[in-house]
Amino acid sequence: MAVQDILYQLQSSGLYEIALPFLLVFTITFAILEKTNIFGQDKSKINAVVAIVLGLLIINQFEIVDRLNLFLPKISLFIVVAVMFLILLGVFGARVENGFSGVLLGLAAVASLVVVYWALTPYVGLDYYGPSWLESWLYDNAGTLLFLIIAGIIIWAVVSKPGSNRGGGDWFTKLGKNIDKSFGRDSN
Amino acid sequence: MVTPLGKAIEFFRDFGLFDVVLPFLLVFTIIFAILEKTRVLGTVKTKDGEIPNKNLNSMVAFVVGLLTVATANVVRTLNESLPNIVLLTVVGVSFLIMIGVFMKTEEFDFKAKHPRLYLTFIVLMFIGVIAIFLNSIYDADGNSWLEIALFFITTEWSGAAFTSIIFLIVAVLAIYWITRSTKEKKESG
């Protein structure tokens, strides 16, 4: 039997729509409850019951399961792209094992947030801004928002003092130092 | 296409698992666990020391659970909001996994290493949870509280009430920022 046939059989048995979402939600919820000790220490039975109930509740909502099934592959795609990017950096001598820090990590966080937003939207492209009222509001107030953002960045850059940790005056300096650090060069 | 597992879910739905059994189990478990943790209803002395009064705790949790499943609106809110909360959790975990790609090999302590980002995400998650629950609570006309709030915001955007609220928020934030800066200077000086 070909692999495709096996996958088709698994799909037609409801593995992707019911079993896998349940398993994922159960595992994540149980792990978080065990880690955070919300219900006290050594309460694995209570944690398991709550995780099972949440897992069963989610598979009853087909819309959420569909969204989850669309969301996770997109996240996986980003992770593969990110790893490929790190491999490329490694080719050029970057010390990838030390990880990013400072501004570079901030940029990675912003990129991850954009990907999360993209993965959550029902369409494939980035042409979805949100509910219709938000889209119309953004369309009407785009100029004001742009002005506020630019003014905020300018104030942020002007207010900072050289050498201090606050504000954005040293932003590009910090970025350069972080890139140097990633490539194993001492910027001092 | 109805799958075998899908048929099982349909059977459980007809049986009332999602409307009665699971909400009851969830409420019972949570109430019982909190009563055991906080020992609100007292303790019992045994040879091994003081332990929570399990009989009273379980009875209270049982009654609260039954009362909850008897209220259709609450069950509907639970059934609609909890899967969305779980989706939010999965999204949060996915984000941490994505960030983890760019970090070095160690336990991810977001709170200790990036307190500002941590606070930002706490606020975002809080807003998300509030929005999800508001979206699951309905008034008599069938409009969710979130819809009502958004309608109020979009129609009263330039009105006196909304402007006053924004002014109040800005004033409070400004006072907090100024007083905090002064305090930090005093501490450092």
Residue A156 burial (CB < 10 Å; 0-12/13-18/19+)?
Answer: middle
Residue B128 burial (CB < 10 Å; 0-12/13-18/19+)?
Answer: middle
Is residue A36 in a domain? yes
Per-residue pLDDT in tens (0 to 9) along chain A, 188 residues: 688 888 888 888 888 889 999 999 999 999 999 988 888 888 899 999 999 999 999 998 888 898 888 899 999 999 999 999 989 988 887 777 878 877 788 888 889 988 988 888 765 455 555 667 777 777 788 888 889 888 888 887 777 666 555 555 566 666 667 666 666 665 55
Is residue A37 in a domain? yes
Q: CA A177 to CA A31: how far, in whole Å?
A: 37
Instruction: Compute the Cα dihedral for A114, A120, A126, A128 and give only its sign.
Output: negative
Q: Which residue of A has its CA nearest to B92?
A: A116
pLDDT at B177: 83
Work out the minimum CA distance from A51 to partner chain B, whole angstroms: 9
Work out the minimum CA distance from B37 to partner chain A, whole angstroms: 6
Instruction: Compute the Cα dihedral for A13, A16, A19, A20 and give only its sign.
Output: positive
pLDDT at A120: 84
Q: CA B58 to CA B30: how far, in whole Å?
A: 11
DSSP A160: P
Q: CA B89 to CA A38: how far, in whole Å?
A: 15
**Structural domain boundaries enclosing A32:** 1-60
pLDDT at A167: 52
Instruction: Compute the Cα dihedral for A100, A103, A109, A115 and give only its sign.
Output: negative
- Please give the torsion angle defined by the CA atoms of residues B180, B184, B185 and B189, in that order, rounded to the nearest 10 degrees: 160
Closest among A112, A42, A110, A44 to A77, alpha carbons compared: A112
Is the Cβ pair B33, A59 closer than 8 Å?
Answer: no
Give pLDDT < 50 ranges for chain B.
Answer: none
Number of domains in chain A: 1
Residue B56 burial (CB < 10 Å; 0-12/13-18/19+)?
Answer: middle
**Model confidence, pTM:** 0.78
Work out the minimum CA distance from A40 to partner chain B, whole angstroms: 6
Judge whether A21 and A69 are in contact, CB under 8 Å: yes
DSSP B48: T
Is the Cβ pair B99, A105 closer than 8 Å?
Answer: yes
Q: Which residue of A has its CA nearest to B35?
A: A39
Structure tokens at B40: 């609100």
Enumerate residues 6+ apart whose C-beta is below 8 A from A132. none
Owner of token pair 């932003």: A171
Is the Cβ pair B103, A39 closer than 8 Å?
Answer: no
Is residue A129 in a domain? no
Q: Which residue of A has its CA nearest to B124?
A: A113
Is residue A97 in a domain? no
pLDDT at A100: 82
Q: CA A34 to CA A39: how far, in whole Å?
A: 9
Q: CA B33 to CA A44: how far, in whole Å?
A: 11
* Predicted ipTM beyond 0.90: no
pLDDT at B88: 92
Is the Cβ pair A50, B90 closer than 8 Å?
Answer: no
- Please give the torsion angle defined by the CA atoms of residues B101, A59, B68 and B131, in that order, rounded to the nearest 10 degrees: 50
CA–chain centroid gap for A59, Å, is 23
Work out the minimum CA distance from A18 to partner chain B, whole angstroms: 7
Is the Cβ pair B102, A100 closer than 8 Å?
Answer: yes
Is the Cβ pair A64, B22 closer than 8 Å?
Answer: no
- The partner residues of B138 in beta bridges, in order of sequence, read B144
